[in-house]
Amino acid sequence: MIQTKTIRTRFAPSPTGFVHIGGLRTALFAFLFARSKHGTNLLRIEDTDQNRLVEGSLENMLSVFQTMGIEFDEGPYVENGKIKQKGEYGPYIQSERKEQGLYQKYAEQLVAEKKAYYCFCSEERLDEMRKEQVALKKPPMYDRRCRNLTADDIQKQLADFNLAGKNPVIRFAIPLEGSTVIHDLIYGDITYENKILDDQIILKADGFPTYHLAVVVDDHFMEISHVIRGEEWIPSTPKHLLIYEALGWQPTEFAHLPLIVNPDKTKLSKRQGDVAVEDYLKAGYSPEVLINFIVMLGWNPKTEQEIFSLQQLIEQFDLAKVNKSNAVLDKNKLDWISGQYIKTKTGKEIAELLKPFWQEAGIKVAKFSEEYLKAIAALEKERLKKLSEIGERTKYFFEAPDYDASLLIWKKSDKEKTKQALSDLVILFENMDLSAFAKATADDPLHFVSVTAETIEKWVKKMIADKNYDNGSVLWPLRVSLTGLDKSPGPFEVAATLALALGKEEIIKRLNTAVVKLG
């Protein structure tokens, strides 16, 4: 094997379902670390536990990472609907690597060197053993019964298994004395007494390796320099270090990431909210927002900066800035980051992002001009936290709203005064010269809407002064009649935007509807 000092990281998931937020963070940190060091980042699929595989998971996973912009220099990818692989260290799917015989070879080598042993114990015996240990309040561990078999006993058992068409499992023989130290790049040195470690199965009866053997063999032959994974793998790491030592190989460097927890400090679970990346994408959080949010779950830039582009993250990423304490998944923070990103977009950019969410809300955006869509998007961008909010929030721009008549009445007004104010507004708009709206072809719809909103504001406020109304008694029912909402952009901006596509006739129609609602 060629020895190299090149930084090589990997993300090694199992295709067992959706892409978890925690999995995305692990993949992101491995990607950022490799890119920041001008190294290589690869994807390896760990599918040795055949019972847990979910059909279509790999394709879905590759699609999610492509959407998120996390690139893999080596590993599986999709081309023309088919899974292919790239790179010189393949295959990158463990079940295919099994056919090379590497796992079997090194498991048998460890047996021959008395660093591993065949285990013939039945599942029934192992279940009884665990029950007894739990009853005695001992940690469930294999009692090493087969570790002490004589050579004759082993040969007899192998012959019996062979006649029955079965294979024994192979267990790694943990040293019974001494300790193993993990030199973790985040947590520092962590020491485990060897006597508390279990003699883990490394090769199953079906010939597939367990995670513990496969991860060591694959990381070695793929020349992985750094393993970045969740802290839940820390208890397994001394076992992996001991396997490296037993095989005479140089171990990778390890960096374990803190857990991601709910605000109440409990473990993330589907019962308490979204944990799948797809759920967040469907909810209207853009990939760049999720990247920014997820990288802050455990990583601290040590500056006041909170909004980062992917390139900025690559330039600033450092494992030394990863926290040791658990990271709290705060959706309020996610909404804030999302809002900051949306504010940086132009009306045109937001309109393009919003189109699929409008369509999902049943709005046929193809019937409306690009200028109109851009004007709506620009009007709403200061208030949006996530793109999926746009459906209900802007439905009134595409169809007349439905609402309860009581919403029309300002808190300091009454039904009759509101009705009179709306009637006066009808007359005002009927007499307004809005011919400029018919020429709404400006390249900058924001400028156009701003000018007309100011014009409408001037006319409406003149009417308020002339008739001695107070502002709330007129502007509140004007807003509600146009939007059907108690919270929306200002009534002048809404009226100007509506007129852009639908003309003043739509405004007058909605005002008349409000008068009728009041009886």
Partner residues linked to 189 by β-bridges: 183
Query: Residues, the chain, total?
Result: 519
Measure the CA–CA gap between 406 and 391, rounded to whole angstroms: 24
C-alpha distances in Å from residue 344, one per residue of 16, 295, 301, 444: 37, 20, 22, 17
State how beta strands 226-230 and 253-257 pair: parallel
Is 270 designated active site? yes
With CA atoms as reference, report the closest residue to 394 among 444, 418, 360: 360
C-alpha distances in Å from residue 102, one per residue of 108, 203, 208, 238: 10, 11, 11, 22
User: For residue 505, what are its two tokens?
Assistant: 């006739």
Q: Confirm if 393 and 482 have CB atoms less than 8 A apart.
A: no
Measure the CA–CA gap between 408 and 474, rounded to whole angstroms: 10
Using a 10 angstrom Cβ sphere, with 0-12 exposed, 13-18 middle and 19 or more buried, the burial of residue 163 is exposed
Phi, psi (degrees; rounded to nearest 5) at 298 = 115, -15
Measure the CA–CA gap between 333 and 350, rounded to whole angstroms: 21
Phi, psi (degrees; rounded to nearest 5) at 277 = -60, -40
Mapped onto helix, strand or coil, the DSSP state of residue 45 is: strand
Measure the CA–CA gap between 426 and 504, rounded to whole angstroms: 10
With CA atoms as reference, report the closest residue to 348 among 366, 371, 372, 374: 374
Measure the CA–CA gap between 459 and 433, rounded to whole angstroms: 11
Measure the CA–CA gap between 343 and 114, rounded to whole angstroms: 64
Q: Select which of 105, 156, 270, 302 is catalytic.
A: 270
Measure the CA–CA gap between 244 and 3, rounded to whole angstroms: 16
DSSP 252: P
Alpha helices for 136-285 (secondary structure H): 151-163, 211-221, 237-247, 277-282
SS3 sequence, 415-429? HHHHHHHHHHHHHHH
Q: Hey, which residues are catalytic here?
A: 270
